[in-house]
């Protein structure tokens, strides 16, 4: 990472000395410590609205394995809604939360892990990155000497950045004999297929997305199955119903097996239960099997309620999953009651008051929505401060309280400073509309 970029964030901080930053609160501070101690930096990108982040915080980032990671690396959290977190996400091309990125003491990326992972997958992966200390350029050099493992690592790195075109272009620079050797390796061919999929998505080439997704789904792709199936669902959206159903019907059986063996078990293999449930429900809906769609959602709701009991604050990932399942199942009365329970269970952040307030506003109830949006505003910060302000303005204008709406905008802009120009523009447009 260029020192000028690090310095830009250092300007946001008070003058610091080494003793002041043994427990860094920003990425700029963490890199200062890393340079002094010659240790890597592990950045935990998260957000208050990220349900997968709650899973990781509760189930993975704790205990002796996590303490060992903290001894190896300078660990720093980066909130996606904060100015610094937002800027570093753009710099590192982070498009998925949570993301865990390891930088060396000079700010060069050593590796990254995306999405929620069970402990048995996360810790071997993060420890391998910390132990190897390899940058992408190092892996490329090893790939050039014929290392298939290094080639796979390079391809996986490009996939993690959603840079399909760049990854395929790099692979094309390898000598033909090395490419042929890699293409005989199942892991390498799967990575190439995933890069083809990423390239097709970036180009909005639905036919290519369909072809690549089908190739990937024909393989055992583990916990990524719902994500790739979502790509197939999206890309086939414009096809005639009969053609689309014929395309998607073969995906029903493998997804049912995935749900049964890796999601709806006592100890799920795959951490992201929500994506699997929603993808399954969406697939049932497209296939016209509404009984199966309802049964799947009802099963997920019942199982999640059973796991939570009466303790919503015990597992925020599960608690938020239940909210989404109720919404997807259109169990509106239950959802309204449940959202108020979530506000009570998590009173110290903005997200549930905001979501409930917005749902009331969308239902045409601005007077009922406004108190919840105001409650959310008291806890909001950074980018989400502007998001909440926009909905408050919408509610106030619906109630013909335009002068209060103007004050909300002025206060939000004053508190937020020059960050998030797109969100600022949207807020101003809302005021004038």
Residue 319 to residue 307: CA distance in whole angstroms? 10
Confidence class of residue 1 from pLDDT cuts 50, 70 and 90?
A: very low
Predicted local distance difference test score (pLDDT) of residue 4? 39
For a pLDDT cut of 70, what percent of the chain falls above it? Answer: 95
Q: Which domains does the chain have, with CATH numbers?
A: 1-133 (3.40.30.10), 347-433 (1.25.40)
Mean pLDDT of 389-405: 97
Q: Tens of pLDDT along 2-13? A: 333 333 333 333
- The pTM is what? 0.84
Predicted local distance difference test score (pLDDT) of residue 3? 39
Which of the two residues, 271 and 426, has the higher pLDDT score? 426
Predicted local distance difference test score (pLDDT) of residue 23? 65
Residue 282 to residue 286: CA distance in whole angstroms? 6
Q: Using CB atoms within 10 A of its CB, is residue 48 exposed (0-12), middle (13-18) or buried (19+)?
A: buried
Tell me the three-class secondary structure of the chain, residue by residue.
Answer: CCHHHHHHHHCCCCCCCHHHHCCCCCHHHHHHHHHHHCCCEEEEEECCCCHHHHHHHHHCCCHHHHHHHHHHCEEEEEECCCHHHHHHHHHCCCCCCCEEEEECCCCCEEEEEECCCCHHHHHHHHHHHHHHCCCHHHHHHHHHCCCHHHHHHHHHHHHHCCCHHHHHHHHHCCCHHHHHHHHCCHHHHHHHHHHHHHHHHHCCCHHHHHHHHHHHHCCCCHHHHHHHHHHHHHHCCCCCHHHHHHHHHHHHHHHHHHHHHHHCCCCCCCCCHHHHHHHHHHHHHHCCCHHHHHHHHHHHHHHHHHHHCCCHHHCHHHHHHHHHHHHHCCCHHHHHHHHHHHHHHCCCCCHHHHHHHHHHHHCCCHHHHHHHHHHHHHHCCHHHHHHHHHHHHHHHHHCCCHHHHHHHHHHHHHHHCCCCHHHHHHHHHHHHC
Nearest CA among 380, 342, 379 for reference residue 359:
342
Mean pLDDT of 90-104: 94
Confidence class of residue 134 from pLDDT cuts 50, 70 and 90?
A: confident
Give yes or no for a contact between 209 and 231, defined as CB atoms under 8 angstroms apart.
Answer: yes
Nearest CA among 58, 52, 56, 98 for reference residue 311:
58
Residue 28 to residue 3: CA distance in whole angstroms? 10
Give yes or no for a contact between 262 and 226, defined as CB atoms under 8 angstroms apart.
Answer: no
Cα 264–chain centre separation: 22
Give yes or no for a contact between 423 and 383, defined as CB atoms under 8 angstroms apart.
Answer: yes
Q: Tens of pLDDT along 360-377? A: 999 999 999 999 999 999
For a pLDDT cut of 90, what percent of the chain falls above it? Answer: 83
Per-residue pLDDT for 380 more than 50? yes
Mean pLDDT of 322-335: 97
Predicted local distance difference test score (pLDDT) of residue 12? 32
Give yes or no for a contact between 199 and 164, defined as CB atoms under 8 angstroms apart.
Answer: yes
Per-residue pLDDT for 25 more than 80? no
Mean pLDDT of 29-56: 92
Mean pLDDT of 282-307: 97
Q: Tens of pLDDT along 48-93? A: 999 899 999 999 999 999 999 999 999 999 999 999 999 999 999 9
Q: Tens of pLDDT along 150-169? A: 999 999 989 988 899 999 99
Mean pLDDT of 101-113: 92
Mean of pLDDT over the chain: 91
Mean pLDDT of 99-109: 93
Alpha-carbon distances of 112 from 115, 128, 182, rounded to whole Å:
10, 11, 22
Per-residue pLDDT for 253 more than 80? yes
Mean pLDDT of 392-410: 97
User: CA torsion 326→330→333→338, rounded to 10°?
Assistant: 20
Nearest CA among 110, 99, 89 for reference residue 9:
89
Per-residue pLDDT for 221 more than 60? yes
Residue 92 to residue 75: CA distance in whole angstroms? 17
Mean pLDDT of 18-38: 75
Predicted local distance difference test score (pLDDT) of residue 11? 31
Nearest-5° Cα angle at 128, 191 to 1:
80
Alpha-carbon distances of 352 from 309, 323, 360, 374, rounded to whole Å:
20, 10, 12, 12
Residue 369 to residue 379: CA distance in whole angstroms? 16
What's the sign of the alpha-carbon dihedral 114, 195, 154, 106? negative
Per-residue pLDDT for 128 more than 80? yes
């Amino acid at each position: 990472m260029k020192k000028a970029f690090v310095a830009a964030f250092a300007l946001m901080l008070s003058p610091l000395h080494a003793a002041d930053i043994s427990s860094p609160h920003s990425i700029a501070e963490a890199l200062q410590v890393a340079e002094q101690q010659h240790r890597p930096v592990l950045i935990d990108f998260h957000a208050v609205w990220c349900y997968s982040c709650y899973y990781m915080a509760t189930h993975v980032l704790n205990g002796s394995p996590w303490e060992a990671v903290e001894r190896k690396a300078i660990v720093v959290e980066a909130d996606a809604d904060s100015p610094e977190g937002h800027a570093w996400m753009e710099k590192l091309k982070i498009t998925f939360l949570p993301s865990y990125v390891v930088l060396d003491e000079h700010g060069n990326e050593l590796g990254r892990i995306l999405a929620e992972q069970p402990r048995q997958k996360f810790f071997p992966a993060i420890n391998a990155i910390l132990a190897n200390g390899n940058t992408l350029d190092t892996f490329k050099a090893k790939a050039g000497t014929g290392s298939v493992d290094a080639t796979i690592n390079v391809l996986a790195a490009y996939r993690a950045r959603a840079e399909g075109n760049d990854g395929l272009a790099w692979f094309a620079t390898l000598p033909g004999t090395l490419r042929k050797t890699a293409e005989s390796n199942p892991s390498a061919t799967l990575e190439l297929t995933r890069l083809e999929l990423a390239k097709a998505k970036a180009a909005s080439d639905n036919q290519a997305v369909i072809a690549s997704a089908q190739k990937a789904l024909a393989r055992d792709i583990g916990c990524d199955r719902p994500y790739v199936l979502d790509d197939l669902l999206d890309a086939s959206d414009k096809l005639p119903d009969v053609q689309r159903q014929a395309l998607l019907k073969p995906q029903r059986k493998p997804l049912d097996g995935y749900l049964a063996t890796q999601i709806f078990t006592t100890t799920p293999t795959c951490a992201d239960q929500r994506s699997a449930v929603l993808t399954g429900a969406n697939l049932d809906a497209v296939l016209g099997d509404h009984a199966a769609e309802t049964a799947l959602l009802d099963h997920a709701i019942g199982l999640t309620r059973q796991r939570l009991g009466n303790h919503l604050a015990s597992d925020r990932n599960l608690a938020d999953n239940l909210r989404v399942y109720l919404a997807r199942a259109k169990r509106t009365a239950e959802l309204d009651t449940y959202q108020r329970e979530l506000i009570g269970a998590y009173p110290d952040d903005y997200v549930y008051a905001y979501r409930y307030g917005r749902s009331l506003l969308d239902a045409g109830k601005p007077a009922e929505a406004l108190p919840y949006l105001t409650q959310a505003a008291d806890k909001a910060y950074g980018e989400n401060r502007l998001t909440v302000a926009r909905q408050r303005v919408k509610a106030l204008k619906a109630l013909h309280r335009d002068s209060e709406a103007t004050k909300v905008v002025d206060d939000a802009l004053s508190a937020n400073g020059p960050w998030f120009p797109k969100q600022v523009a949207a807020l101003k447009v809302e005021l004038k509309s």
